[in-house]
Amino acid sequence: MTAKRPAFDATSALAGASALATPLPRVLRPQRALPSDAVRPTRAEVNLANLRHNLRVMQRNAGGAEVWAVLKADGYGHGSKAVARTLERAGASGVCVALLEEAVELREAGIRLPILVMGGYYGRAWGELLRHDLTPVVHEASQLESLAEEVRFSGSEAMKVHVKVDTGMARLGIAPKDVRAVGELLRSRPELVLDGLMTHFASADVGDAASIHQQLDLFDSALATLRELGLSPRVRHAANSAAILATPRARLDLVRPGIALFGVEPREGSCPDLRPVMRVRTEVVALRDLEANMPVGYGATFHTERPSRIATIPMGYADGLSRGLSNRGHVLVRGARAPIVGSVSMDMTMIDVTLVPDVRIGDECVVLGSQKGPAGEGVITAEELATSLGTIPWEVLTSVSRRVPRFYREP
């Protein structure tokens, strides 16, 4: 292993693909609707100034630990490439993603920060990790064997890996009882370098401080076992957004904020300084006046109780406006709340604007975010939508689909 792996370069990486043990896999990357191609007025506006503000808030709360931004699920629905560029320039130390495909997309977009691939499944595309200078998280011994083989065949320098220990999530990770055996395997594989040791908290976002400390006790024990074997990872990390804010003990050397970067408190009251990053808006495209007791929408799940004015907006459940908001959600129009009536369709939704004065075709309608208008001022938060739907803000944000173009704003 005398050949040194060069700095990542997309062109030379592809040209040298045949030198690796595994062939270049077929990677299908989903396409996003581009602002330049947008015809309908439905769009998500991403406030980059608020994103940078939230990064600074997390850096202040990190206690000196490195801040690696978690940008899985297309940057929590905000568009990972633009978000990563902004955070890279703003001083983030690294990026974490779930999928190998997500990491490759960021590298091909020119992101130079270290990228940690946390999902644990690589489909035997080990060569992609080398080609794109990515750091994998490994959670079982067989992965170490495969990675070491790839490095040997490619002639690359030793690959950095982060080992995940399962301390109570029961999802991915080396069981505490197997840490010694995995450490001995690592010690016998000079092709691999233990760069990081990590775990993940199961209940930090529900305020269970006791469980955080119990998991950290197991983590510390695993670290001690590895150090007995002469293995000392450069960084230790465990804290997601909630744990960063819950206890200094969880911050270790590196923290992994995700949802907090996008302006959502991981637990109510945990960080009021955060600012929302995404605003989803559309416009009224049709208006009709209905008599009392007239049906609205699929299945006639709503009937007007009085003479009513019904507006149609070009956004539906295929865009991320959940069907679960049928007859229960609201949209902001001219600064006032207008109830969603009838079933949310795939592409369109109806709202009752009877009590909102002077609504016209072309008026802005806000599905997520704030609006100030002649009828008042209001806000619809991801937390509110999540409560209405019986879910969590994470799902609300990531449900805004790729066919909704993202417009990036610098207020």
The token duo for 21 is 């043990």
CATH number at residue 68: 3.20.20.10
CATH number at 371 reads: 2.40.37.10
Residue 16 and residue 65 share a domain:
yes
pLDDT confidence of residue 22: 52
Catalytic residue among 4, 72, 81, 408: 72
Amino acid at the residue 41: P
Rounded Cα distance between 198 and 167, Å, is 10
Host H or E run for residue 47: strand 43-47
The pLDDT of residue 28: 52
* Regions of the chain with pLDDT less than 70: 1-34, 36-37
Does one domain contain both 15 and 94? yes
Q: How many structural domains does the chain have?
A: 2
The active-site residue out of 121, 122, 164, 298 is: 298
Instruction: Write down the pTM of the prediction.
Output: 0.91
Domain stop point among 207, 237, 262? 262
Do 219 and 74 sit in the same domain of this protein?
A: yes
Q: Give yes or no: residues 130 and 166 share one domain.
A: yes
Task: Let me know if 81 is a catalytic residue.
Answer: no
- Contact yes or no for 167/173 (Cβ under 8 A): yes
Q: Does the residue 4 lie in any domain?
A: no
Pairwise CA distance, residues 215 & 290, whole Å: 59
DSSP 82: H
Residues 207 and 87 in one domain: yes
Which pLDDT score, from 0 to 100, does residue 20 have?
Answer: 52
Q: Are 150 and 22 in contact (CB under 8 A)?
A: yes
pLDDT tens digits, one per residue of 218-243: 999 999 999 999 999 999 999 999 99
**Residues 150 and 52 grouped into a single domain:** yes
Question: HSE on the CB side for 137, CA within 13 Å?
Answer: 29
Together in a domain, 165 and 73 = yes
Is residue 121 among the annotated active site residues?
A: no
Do residues 93 and 113 touch, judged by C-beta distance below 8 A? yes
Same domain membership, residue 284 and residue 246: no
Model pLDDT, residue 16 = 45
Element of type H or E holding 331: strand 330-333
At residue 29, the pLDDT reads: 57
Residues 204 and 336 in one domain: no
Specify whether 313 is located in the same domain as 244. no
Is 42 part of any domain? no
pLDDT at 14: 42
Domain that holds residue 232: 10-26+48-262
The verdict on 138 and 206 lying in the same domain is yes
**237 phi/psi in degrees, rounded to 5:** -150, 145
